[in-house]
Structure 1
Amino acid sequence: MIRKFIFALCMGLCCMACEEALPGYNTSWKGVQFVLPAVLHPEVYSYSFVGKGDISVDTVWFTVRPQGMVPEENCRIKLEQYEKREWKYIYGNDGIIADSVLTVYPRQAVPGVHYIPFDDERMKEHLILKPGELSTQIPVIMLRDESLRDTTYTLFFRIVDSEDLMAGDNEYCHIQLKIADCLTTPAAWDRYFFAGAWSRTKHEFMITISGKEWDDEFISTLSIDDKNYYLFIFNRELKKENAKRAEQGLPPLRDNPDDPATEITFPTIAR
């Protein structure tokens, strides 16, 4: 009986402690963060104006969702560009840091040149989480500047605290968007991609044969059966192309015509 009493007393004290701690938890906290796909580098996206016709402006949409309390009124979402930089440490023979170098990521997007700034009036209506919304989409509006024709620029941006919403989990508040007007490696084309290593020549060949852009949006729709279908087509057409080239006295399709090590190939089965 005494043991039961002591156990009940301890449980009561624990419950009281919990009840006393609860008021300290901010139940009115409201935040927002990106909804990222379950891939190797979910925060990295790519966009190219290639194949988009004569447009001078285009938009990529990103999904966000609230954290904590669901807003009961319009809440502003705040985005900001940040400079991507990192420290590289040089170690001595004793394993101790002997020096360090600050490296700034090259070719970062310029507001007003490569995209419409996040504090621009045209963005305000889009950066809103409405009452009761469990998710919404917010845009990055890109500008087709001349500099994109031969160079890819990267926009590093993140969700930050606004007067209405706090930034959510840091891991889900950062995005890298690569913007180009030339063929560039899609973010979805990582080392696990079914077609093998990326090259401009291979990418152009795939677009010509399939009529598809092979950008992130298209790649994300592919099933394993789709991949195997396209691999069959690419290998068949590459064989035909190389046969034609041989008749003309040309080498097989390569990234560098003078380097046999750069010959274009495709796997036979999707990974």
Structure 2
Amino acid sequence: MKKILYAALLCALFTTGCKEDEKLLFNEKARAELVSENQKAPADHPFSFVWGSDTRVRDTVFIPIRVIGGSAPTDRHVLFEQVSEYIVDYTYDNKGYIIDSTVTERTDKAIPGTHYVPLNDESIRPLFTIKAGRVKDSVGIVVLRDASLKKASVRLRLRLKENENFALGERRLQEQTIIISDKLEMPSNWNYTTKAYLGNYSAPKHRLMMQVVGSKVDDVWIAEVNKSQELIVYWRGKFIEALEAFNSDPANIASGLAPMREDPTNASSPLVTFPSRV
């Protein structure tokens, strides 16, 4: 009998505690966080002006965002700030154990006013809006087409800031990097599956693939072919045919373009290849 009373008491306490937690949860300030499909930190978001008109000088990159704590009857705004990124280099002993590390700030940081419209610019405030009645939306970052982007990409690391509308959600969902360029960039989801079937990434390979596909070969395209072994093997066969045709073209051979290399400016660079046994 004592055991039954003890269990009932625990149950009552647990129920009361749950109700208190629910009260706190729904009475606290709404929280904003970025969206990740794989339960990890949001992946880098590559954006290149190479897709689209040559005369385009600015564009908007949209980032999905969600609200914890319910919708609201009025529009709400989020705030972002730019933060630095760091590279950590480790030193190991002869047994493979870490004995030291060096932290350096990345130098490819996007410059406000040059590579993107400053985040505190009132003209873009409407892009940071979560519409009334929504708990999921997209906010926009305006990127600028500077001439330097044809030579090297830059990185805009964004972090959500608390404001009058929102507190912050999970720490791992507070930051995301936009990679801004005006040249071909490796799709962010060129992952283990892609490498297994299509091999290492290089810009010449990317251009060849686009010629064969006849349109963009970007994150969306890679995501689709990664879903189907049949589809990715089909396209790989087409790419191999195109590569063989390029390498055997007398004009390409005479000009030194063939065989195609990962770095066309380096005669000792690895050849562009596609796996054939997977």
TM-score range, shorter chain: 0.7 to 0.9
Q: Give aligned-pair identity as a percent.
A: 26
1:208 to 208, 211, 217: 211
Number of paired residues?
A: 270
Looking at structure 1, the residues matched to 232 and 97 of structure 2 have their Cα atoms a distance apart, in angstroms, of 48
- 1:116-265 alignment to 2 at 5 Å? 116-193=117-194, 194-222=197-225, 223-224=227-228, 225-245=230-250, 248=253, 251-256=258-263, 259=267, 262-265=270-273
- Residue by residue, what CA displacement relative to the aligned partner does 1:44-85 show, whole Å, maximum 9, x if unpaired? 111111142221111221111111232233221111111112
What TM-score do you get using the length of structure 1 for normalisation?
Answer: 0.83
1:69–1:15 CA distance, 2 compared to 1 (3 A): same
Question: Which amino acid letter does the alignment assign opposite residue 49 of structure 2?
Answer: F
1:55 aligned partner: 56
Looking at structure 2, the residues matched to 45 and 108 of structure 1 have their Cα atoms a distance apart, in angstroms, of 15
1:267 aligned partner: 275
2:28 aligned partner: 28
SS of the residue corresponding to residue 159 of structure 2 reads strand
1:196–1:22 CA distance, 2 compared to 1 (3 A): closer
What TM-score do you get using the length of structure 2 for normalisation?
Answer: 0.81
1:16–1:34 CA distance, 2 compared to 1 (3 A): closer
Q: CA RMSD in A?
A: 3.3
> Which 10-residue stretch deviates more, 115-124 or 212-221?
212-221
1:24 to partner: Cα distance: 5.3
1:30–1:241 CA distance, 2 compared to 1 (3 A): same
Question: Which amino acid letter does the alignment assign opposite residue 52 of structure 2?
Answer: K
Question: Which has the larger share of helix?
Answer: 2
Question: Which amino acid letter does the alignment assign opposite residue 215 of structure 1?
Answer: D
Gaps of 5+ in 1: none
1:5–1:131 CA distance, 2 compared to 1 (3 A): same
> Which 10-residue stretch deviates more, 186-195 or 244-253?
244-253
Question: Which amino acid letter does the alignment assign opposite residue 205 of structure 1?
Answer: L
- Residue by residue, what CA displacement relative to the aligned partner does 1:90-120 show, whole Å, maximum 9, x if unpaired? 5789999876533001211111111112211
